[in-house]
Each structure stands twice: as structure tokens, then as C-alpha cells.
Amino acid sequence: MDVSIVIPTKNAGKLLNRVLAMVFRQKTEYSYEVICVDSGSGDETLGIIRSYPCRLFEIPASEFGHGRTRNYGAAQGNGTYIVFLTQDALPASEDWLQNLVDAMQIEDGIVGGFGIHLPYPDCNIFDKRDLKAHFDNFGQENTVYWLDDEERYRAEEGYLHKLAFFSDNNACLRRDVWEKYPYPDVDFAEDQIWMRKMIELGYKKVYCPYAPVYHSHNFPLREYYGRYFDEYRGLNRIHGYVISDSWMKLPLLVIRHTLADLRYVRSLPLKRKEKFSWLLYSAGRNYCRYYAGYKGGRYDRSSRRRQERWDRRISQQYKQRKGQGV
């Protein structure tokens, strides 16, 4: 077997049917299997999976972990390469798999590759902008990255983040390396923690813009609050990153970001009412980003009692482990 495609699922909804249909329409010379690991779906997810030639494994919601569950799914397969795909990442072409695995072989030493994310048509205007800017930063062709400047890596935060970035919404790993260095069992950012370790061990990664998936979200603001909390807690644990060193700076950060969004909104051919609506959305979203991000960055320095309160009230990862959400 050349490739094991691993998809963690929970209450994936009808989109999963489109994802699996495209996965099984791939035009590729590689043999592949599809492994789904479900952690307690209560909707039509299991029926959708069983309607395709997938290998289905079920685990309790309490056993879910982003690193742990992907490790479990990968261990059930025997492909030379492991492809991780999320339940809401829709391959955008029938050459997605071929191109992603091909990119892994363009140079010796590549142990992981990730593909571009495209916004769904209904994606909000700010995420459309940010997705394009983020992935454009990695190049327009297959591009290999490795630790070629250790002094810069230690001194420049942006360079460190660029080398460590890895997204297993749409990613490929070499099985022989994964078996030696499996994902860490963490609540968040297992992919970036793993890639940072690989880079520091002297391995390489590849960015493949020819392996696109549609992947974007339109969450309610309350859910964004929880997701930002988890994201910045993860970034603090990986890189020591904090969104602000003082809560007193947060209002100014929200205002600055919202004003930048306002300039962008003004540049778009939208009606005045639409622009005003997007401005209100921006203010709410940026409030979530900075206030939840501030708490996430302080999580490990907070008292146990506060951590438990933030977990119960804010963290999306906590709710997923407890079976309270997707």
C-alpha cells in the first residue's frame, strides 16, 4: 500500500459525503486506503462512512486527542505515506493526492508536506483575505523548507514560525519517520509541534500549492472565542508566544486590527450596509481574538482553579473531549 489517508470524524454532517466522494475520485498511480476514526458521532456521519469502502474505527469522545487520535488512525494502516485530512477539508481536484505525494519525493530528506487551503464560496471576507496571504507566503510552486540559518531561527520569531508551520488538515508524512517520531499527545497544534521537532532534527518539509483543499469556517463568535483560546494556548506552549504582555493593551490591539479591517472593507465593491455589517463583525471577531488569545497565552501561568474554569467555560478542545461538541 502506498498511502493511508486518515480522517478523524465527529458529527461531520453532509459535507463528509462530498469529502469522501472526492477522495475516492482521485486520479492517481498510488494505491491508497481510507481510515476514519470516529469519536462519538450522533448524526449521519457513521452511515456516510459505511457507504464508502473506508475502514472505520470508533473511539469514545473521552479518548479523543488531536495527536493521539491521528496516531491511532495511522497505526491502523500500512501505507508508505500517511495523509491526514480533516472531515471538513474537501479536495479541490482529482489530482490532489497524486500531487501531494509527488511533492514528498522532489528532494531527499523531506518528511512532511502540506497543501494549500482555499476558502469555500461562503467564507467570510476576512478569512478569504487572510488565507490567501498566509499561503502565498509559502510560494507559488512546490517549495522545500529546512533549517538553513540557525542564528536567524533563534533570533527571528517570524522565521521560526514559518519553518514550524504545518497543517494536518491537508498533510502528508513519511511513515518510517512517523513511526520513529509519532505525533505528541497534546490538545492543540500537534502538527506544528511535530514539524518544529523535525526541522530541528535536520529534516525538511515541502509546501505543495498543487494539492488544494477547500477549508474555511464561519463559526459563531462564541465558538471563535473558544478556538482562539485553544490556538494561543498552543502557540504559547510551542513558541512561548503571547498576544499581549498586558490586558491593558488589549483594547488598543482590538481597535488597531479593526481599523485595518475597515480599510480593507472600504476597498471592496460592497454596499454601505454590507460594509457596516462587516465592520461590526470585525470588531466582535477581533475582541474574541485578543481577549481569548490573552487568556490562552496565560493559561499555563494561571492557577489550577482558573485553568479548570477556563477549560469548562471557554475551551473547544475541552468540550470535544467531554463529548459536548464537535
For 269-300, the DSSP string reads ---HHHHHHHHHHHHHHHHIIIIIHHHHHHGG
Half-sphere exposure in the Cβ direction for 39 (13 Å, CA): 24
For residue 194, the surrounding DSSP H or E stretch is helix 190-200
Helices (H) and strands (E) in the chain, counts: 15, 9
Q: List the domains of the chain with CATH numbers.
A: 3-214 (3.90.550.10), 221-321 (no CATH)
Q: Give yes or no for a contact between 211 and 100, defined as CB atoms under 8 angstroms apart.
A: yes
Structure confidence at residue 323 (pLDDT): 60
Per-residue pLDDT tens digits for 44-55: 999 999 999 999
Q: Give yes or no for a contact between 243 and 232, defined as CB atoms under 8 angstroms apart.
A: yes
Residue 142, SS3 per DSSP: coil
Round to whole Å and give the CA distance between 168 and 172: 8
Residue 69, SS3 per DSSP: helix
What nine digits make up the cell of 57?
474505527
Round to whole Å and give the CA distance between 160 and 155: 8
Pairing type for strands 55-58 and 110-118 reads: unpaired
Longest Cα separation, the chain = 57
Q: Give yes or no for a contact between 65 and 185, defined as CB atoms under 8 angstroms apart.
A: yes
The residue written with cell numbers 490532489 in the block is 96
Q: Give yes or no for a contact between 35 and 69, defined as CB atoms under 8 angstroms apart.
A: no
What nine digits make up the cell of 54?
473506508
Round to whole Å and give the CA distance between 137 and 156: 16
- CA 41-42-48 angle, 5° bins: 65
Residue 174, SS3 per DSSP: strand
Instruction: Say what the pTM is.
Output: 0.91
Question: In a structure prediction context, what are the per-residue pLDDT tens digits for the chain, which is 326 residues long?
Answer: 999 999 999 999 999 999 999 999 999 999 999 999 999 999 999 999 999 999 999 999 989 999 999 999 999 999 999 999 999 999 999 999 999 999 999 999 999 999 999 999 999 999 999 999 999 999 999 999 999 999 999 999 899 999 999 999 999 999 999 999 999 998 778 999 999 999 999 999 999 999 999 999 888 888 999 999 999 998 888 888 899 999 999 999 999 999 999 999 999 999 999 999 999 999 999 999 999 999 999 999 999 999 999 999 999 878 776 665 44
Round to whole Å and give the CA distance between 170 and 5: 10
Neighbours of 179 (CB within 10 A): 12
Structure confidence at residue 188 (pLDDT): 79
Round to whole Å and give the CA distance between 259 and 265: 10
Round to whole Å and give the CA distance between 137 and 116: 11
- State whether the Cα torsion 37-42-43-48 is positive or negative: positive
Residue 217: DSSP 8-state: -
Neighbours of 27 (CB within 10 A): 10
Percentage of the chain exceeding pLDDT 90: 89
3-state DSSP of 73-87: HHHCCCCCEEEEECC
Q: Give yes or no for a contact between 49 and 36, defined as CB atoms under 8 angstroms apart.
A: yes
